[in-house]
Amino acid sequence: MKLSYKQMYRRTFNGKIRLTYQKMKGRVKGNNETRERTKKLYVGKSICSKEDFIKWSKTDPCFLKLFKRWKKSGFKLINSPSIDRIDSSKGYKLNNIRWISNSENCYLGAKNHHTSK
């Protein structure tokens, strides 16, 4: 299957960072979420500037390591770099976010979902 230009860009270093920021911004504005429970986790939360996020990500050792592993795996979703809010009650500020693998983020989300019931 041949990838479109947009799909290929999303697999680049800059593309992954910019797409992640775009998704974060969509969440806090309520554009990405349809379930009420999920909206409560994101909508209205604070977010760092795009410039600060890009600068931080490009120098973050965890992102660099995760991006290399994701690329080496053939861009498998499970290995994709993902943003985690350390404290889910707070927004996407640089002192509250970290890069982790998609699989780890899914695990943490499921764990938190089950413990918050």
d(CA 7, CA 27): 21
- 113 pLDDT exceeds 70? no
Provide the pLDDT for residue 95.
Answer: 97
Residue spans per domain, the chain: 5-115
pTM tops 0.75 = yes
Q: Report the percent of the chain where pLDDT is more than 90.
A: 71
pLDDT per residue as tens digits for the range 47-96? 999 999 999 999 999 999 999 999 999 999 999 999 999 998 999 999 99
Can you list the pairs that 26-34 forms with residues at least 24 positions away whose Cβ atoms lie under 8 Å? 28/91, 28/92
Provide the pLDDT for residue 94.
Answer: 97
* Residue range 26-34: mean pLDDT, rounded: 79
d(CA 62, CA 76): 17
